[in-house]
């Protein structure tokens, strides 16, 4: 027999998925490990691909299945916590068919120990079992099996989990950041001054609502992929016309969490002719704090930083030079609005449902945040900026560098939005038509976040992730 025991590749943090552990997807680096398995195992010509039903295991073998044109067979005997005897039975069923079995970090070492104890392995194996690795078993199952360990491998295609090369501060250099988020694709072209300051040259936004797509199916459909590719090409053309010398495309929650997000990011990287940098939660938190630090001149006082997007809420605590704690919560505006199927106008029942979801997502983290004793709360992102414009009745998209919204103002904004239809909101002073359907849900989320955190106001920053990416690149 010849079989490969694969441990699933790197997956999203268990704490962020709580009771939905079986649906926890791969991280961007996990997808690169999954692509690496194609290089490692495709030439071995396996005839069967069998996997634990858990999403992270299925996704680990998806690139190999696509390459070989083989179906994925789901088998609960490979699930986390499964009986070793069940896996032994599965190996016996394989017989002489070469196969790949994808399972978990408890099952594979347990199987190897059992095989050695029963005399099937010639040598006691070193119990290494890194995520994305594989054990090759070759020989007769009853005796004289040989076990060889295959290190995890990462493919480097047109996606990357690593930042692009550092930027050099110098007069006249123009950088374009294409932020491909859960609600919109947003382009910023900025010129770097001689002392590293940022001067906006151009910006453009296109609403795609990927977060809503994920709420329905956890996949990005073919039609939405096509729109995303066309939108990315159009925004790249704007960056080119603005004479941007460097393009940094980044993907956040929706393209990070979707079951086929890695594939879509690869297509985006191809049309943009540069790797898409897939940000994880920790990187997003660092970029947010870079923007807040520069714009608000943060000192040593601990600050809660919030970035409410379409697919997720990034929340972190830190100081000017250091992020001490961060979390990514699956309670983005577009995602929650679609999952809860809220009405228009927003009802009290909708607000209660939103409140319960947000409170449940925050609950595991509140004690940690309290122990860090932050003294201020600052927010970035399109939703909080839209709320600030609505409060100010702003006629343009530009805001003051710092706008303070009190909990009383946020509560009054939510009440006002609950009393209006989408058509009525479009005509409100400061309201952009592109967010008129999303803003009531966004206001409800922000109001609950503020209440749960126990803060009395938020400082809304006119800079955000895109500016933070440039600043971080300059620092490196």
Write the secondary structure of 104-145 as one string of H (helix), E (strand) and C (coil). CCCHHHHHHHHHHHCCCECCCCCCCCCCCCEEEEECCCCCCE
Higher pLDDT: 139 or 425? It is 425
pLDDT of residue 119: 82
* CA dist., res. 268 & res. 287, Å (int): 22
pLDDT of residue 35: 82
Residues in the chain: 476
pLDDT of residue 169: 62
**Residues linked to residue 354 through DSSP beta bridges, in sequence order:** none
pLDDT of residue 124: 75
Question: In 3-state terms, the chain is what percent helix, strand and coil (to 5)?
Answer: 45, 20, 30
Place of tokens 């073998």: 61
Using the predicted structure, report yes or no on whether residue 32 has a pLDDT greater than 80: no
What DSSP state is assigned to residue 11? Answer: B
Give percent of the chain with pLDDT exceeding 90. Answer: 56
Residues 35 and 154 sit within 8 Å (Cβ to Cβ): yes
Q: Which helix (H) or strand (E) holds 48?
A: strand 48-51
- Strand 173-180 versus strand 457-461 pairing type: unpaired
pLDDT of residue 96: 86
Task: Return the CATH architecture of domain 295-475.
Answer: 2-Layer Sandwich (3.30)
SS3 397: coil
Domain ranges of the chain: 2-150, 159-278, 295-475
Q: For residue 21, what are the contacts with CB-CB under 8 A and spacing of at least 6?
A: 14, 54
- Full strand arrangement of the beta sheet holding 48-51: 72-74, 48-51, 99-103, 2-7, 134-138, 146-150
Using the predicted structure, report yes or no on whether residue 31 has a pLDDT greater than 80: no
- The pTM assigned to this predicted structure is 0.66
Q: For residue 415, what are the contacts with CB-CB under 8 A and spacing of at least 6?
A: none
Residue 407 region by backbone torsions, left for phi larger than 0, else alpha for psi between -120 and 50, else beta: alpha
pLDDT digits (tens, 9 = 90+) for 364-385: 999 999 999 999 999 999 999 9
Using the predicted structure, report yes or no on whether residue 258 has a pLDDT greater than 70: yes
Q: Does the structural domain 159-278 have CATH classification 3.40.50.1780?
A: no
CA-to-CA dists, residue 259 to 141, 295, 327, angstroms = 35, 36, 21
SS3 424: helix
pLDDT digits (tens, 9 = 90+) for 1-27: 899 999 999 887 776 665 678 888 887
Q: Does the structural domain 2-150 have CATH classification 3.40.50.2000?
A: no
Using the predicted structure, report yes or no on whether residue 476 has a pLDDT greater than 60: no
**159-278 and 295-475 share one fold:** yes
Using the predicted structure, report yes or no on whether residue 156 has a pLDDT greater than 60: no
pLDDT of residue 367: 95
**Residues linked to residue 93 through DSSP beta bridges, in sequence order:** none
pLDDT of residue 232: 94
What DSSP state is assigned to residue 26? Answer: B
pLDDT digits (tens, 9 = 90+) for 94-117: 988 999 999 999 999 999 888 888
Question: Could you check whether the bond before residue 345 is cis, i.e. omega within 30 degrees of 0?
Answer: yes
pLDDT digits (tens, 9 = 90+) for 33-81: 888 898 899 989 999 999 999 999 999 999 899 889 999 999 999 999 9
């Amino acid at each position: 027999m010849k079989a490969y025991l694969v441990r699933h590749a790197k997956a999203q943090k268990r704490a962020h998925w709580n009771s939905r552990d079986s649906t926890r997807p791969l991280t961007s680096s996990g997808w690169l490990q999954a692509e690496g398995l194609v290089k490692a195992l495709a030439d071995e010509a396996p005839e069967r691909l069998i996997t634990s039903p858990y999403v992270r295991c299925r996704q680990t073998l998806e690139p190999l299945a696509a390459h070989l044109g083989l179906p994925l067979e789901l088998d609960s005997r490979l699930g986390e916590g499964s009986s070793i005897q069940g896996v032994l039975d599965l190996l016996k069923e394989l017989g002489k068919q070469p196969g790949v079995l994808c399972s978990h970090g408890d099952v594979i070492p347990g199987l190897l120990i059992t095989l050695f104890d029963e005399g099937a392995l010639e040598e006691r194996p070193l119990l290494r079992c890194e995520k994305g690795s594989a054990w090759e078993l070759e020989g007769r199952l009853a005796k004289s099996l040989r076990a060889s360990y295959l290190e995890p491998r990462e493919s480097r295609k047109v996606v990357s989990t690593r930042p692009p090369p550092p930027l050099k501060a110098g007069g006249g250099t123009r950088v374009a950041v294409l932020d491909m988020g859960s609600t919109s694709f947003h382009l910023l072209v900025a010129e770097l001054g001689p002392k590293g300051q940022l001067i906006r040259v151009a910006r453009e936004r296109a609403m795609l609502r990927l977060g809503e797509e994920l709420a329905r199916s956890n996949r990005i459909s073919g039609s939405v992929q096509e729109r995303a590719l066309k939108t990315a090409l159009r925004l790249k053309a704007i960056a080119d016309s603005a004479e941007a010398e460097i393009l940094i495309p980044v993907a956040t929650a929706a393209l990070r969490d979707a079951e086929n997000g890695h594939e879509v990011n690869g297509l985006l990287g191809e049309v943009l002719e540069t790797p898409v940098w897939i940000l994880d939660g920790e990187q997003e938190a660092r970029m947010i704090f870079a923007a807040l630090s520069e714009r608000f001149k943060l000192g040593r006082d601990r600050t809660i930083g919030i970035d409410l997007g379409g697919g997720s809420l990034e929340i972190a605590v830190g100081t000017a030079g250091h992020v001490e704690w961060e979390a990514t919560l699956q309670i983005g505006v577009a995602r929650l609005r679609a999952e809860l199927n809220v009405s228009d106008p927003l009802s009290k029942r909708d607000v209660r449902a939103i409140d319960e979801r947000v409170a449940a997502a925050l609950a595991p983290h509140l004690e940690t945040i309290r122990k860090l004793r932050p003294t201020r709360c600052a927010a970035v992102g399109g939703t909080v900026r839209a709320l600030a414009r609505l409060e100010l009745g702003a006629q343009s998209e530009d805001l003051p560098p710092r706008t303070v919204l009190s909990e009383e103002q946020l509560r009054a904004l939510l009440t006002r939005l609950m009393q209006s239809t989408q058509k009525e909101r479009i005509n409100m002073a400061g309201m952009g038509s592109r967010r008129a359907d999303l803003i009531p849900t966004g206001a409800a989320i922000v109001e609950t976040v503020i209440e749960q955190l126990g803060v009395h106001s938020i400082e809304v920053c006119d800079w955000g992730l895109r500016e933070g990416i440039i600043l971080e690149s300059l620092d490196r």
